[in-house]
Amino acid sequence: MTDRVLGVLGGMGPLASAQFMLRLTLLTPAARDQDHIPAVLWSDPRVPDRGAARLGTGPSPLPWLMRGINGLRAAGCGTIAIPCNTAHGWFEPMVRDAGVPILHIVDAAATDLRRIGIAGGTIGLMGTAATLAMKLYQDRLNAQGWDIIEPEPQQMERLVTPAIASVKANRVAEAYLPLAEVVNSLASRGALAVVLGCTEIPLGIQAGPADGLRVPVVDTIDALARAAIAWARPGTVG
C-alpha cells in the first residue's frame, strides 16, 4: 500500500487522460483494490488549444494548466503526470511554479525506447505540428543518442493532423489507416521504431491491427504510466 498520491493533469484530450488512468491501473502489479495507486485526475478539456497557442493564433494555456496543478497539489498529490505531449511546451514555467515534481513525457518515452531494446539509431517521431515545431522531443532525444526523422509536411497536413482531430472527436477507428501509413513511411525511411508523441495517436493506432505496422511503436500514454508507477512504487517496473 502506498501513500504516494499521483496527480494527473488531463483533459487534453479527455480520451487520452481516461486511457492513461486505465493503463496506469492495468500496468500496476495488484491483487486487489487496495494495491492500486491513489490518484487524482484533473480532466479539464476547457484548457485553450495548445497547438494554436504555440503557433501564436490562440491564448496561452498556462493559466489553466497552473489552475489544475494547484488543484492537484491542494488534493495532496506528490507528483504530477501530464498525458498531453503538446502541453509539455510549457514544462519549464509549470515546473518553476508547481511546488511538486512533474514527470516529463519525453524522458518517459526515452526510458520506454530502451525497455524495448532500441538504445540508439534512427527513430521516427509523430506528434502534433506544434510538438514537432517546438522540438520537444528532438533536442532531448538527440542528446541521449538517437537520430530523429519526422513525417513530411504534406503527410502532417493530409494524414497526422486530421487523424488527431478524429480521435478528439471520438471517431477513433477512422484514425488508424492514416496513422499506420505514416508509421510505415517512417519505417521505409529507416526508423527502427516510431515514438507516438501525441497522446491521441496511440488511441488511433490501437483501433486497427498491430500487424499492419512494420516497426515497434512507443505509446507515450503507456510510457508515462510506467514512469508514474516507478515513482509511486520504486522497484516494481523496469
Binding positions for a copy of itself, rule: CB under 8 A: 1, 11-15, 17-19, 21-22, 24-26, 28, 30-47, 49, 71, 74-76, 165, 168-170
- Tell the smallest beta-carbon distance from residue 160 to a copy of itself (Å): 16
The nearer residue to a copy of itself, 45 or 190, going by C-beta atoms, is 45
Cis peptide before 76 (omega within 30 of 0): no
For residues 4 and 232, is the Cβ–Cβ distance under 8 A?
yes
| Residue 150 to residue 138: CA distance in whole angstroms | 10
The nearer residue to a copy of itself, 14 or 208, going by C-beta atoms, is 14
Sequence-distant (≥ 6) Cβ neighbours of residue 236 within 8 angstroms: 28, 29, 229, 230
The nearer residue to a copy of itself, 48 or 208, going by C-beta atoms, is 48
- Tell the smallest beta-carbon distance from residue 45 to a copy of itself (Å): 4
- Tell the smallest beta-carbon distance from residue 138 to a copy of itself (Å): 25
| Residue 186 to residue 177: CA distance in whole angstroms | 14
Nearest to 233 by CA among 29, 18, 21: 29
- Tell the smallest beta-carbon distance from residue 198 to a copy of itself (Å): 12
The nearer residue to a copy of itself, 41 or 224, going by C-beta atoms, is 41
The nearer residue to a copy of itself, 77 or 217, going by C-beta atoms, is 77
- Tell the smallest beta-carbon distance from residue 137 to a copy of itself (Å): 21
| Residue 191 to residue 202: CA distance in whole angstroms | 17
For residues 225 and 24, is the Cβ–Cβ distance under 8 A?
yes
- Tell the smallest beta-carbon distance from residue 206 to a copy of itself (Å): 13
The nearer residue to a copy of itself, 42 or 176, going by C-beta atoms, is 42
Identify residue 22 by its one-letter amino acid code.
L
Pairing status of strand 217-219 against strand 146-149: unpaired
Eight-class DSSP state of 157:
I
User: Grid cell 521504431 — which residue?
Assistant: 193
The nearer residue to a copy of itself, 42 or 137, going by C-beta atoms, is 42
- Tell the smallest beta-carbon distance from residue 11 to a copy of itself (Å): 7
Identify residue 9 by its one-letter amino acid code.
L
- For 104, other C-beta atoms within 10 Å of its C-beta total 18
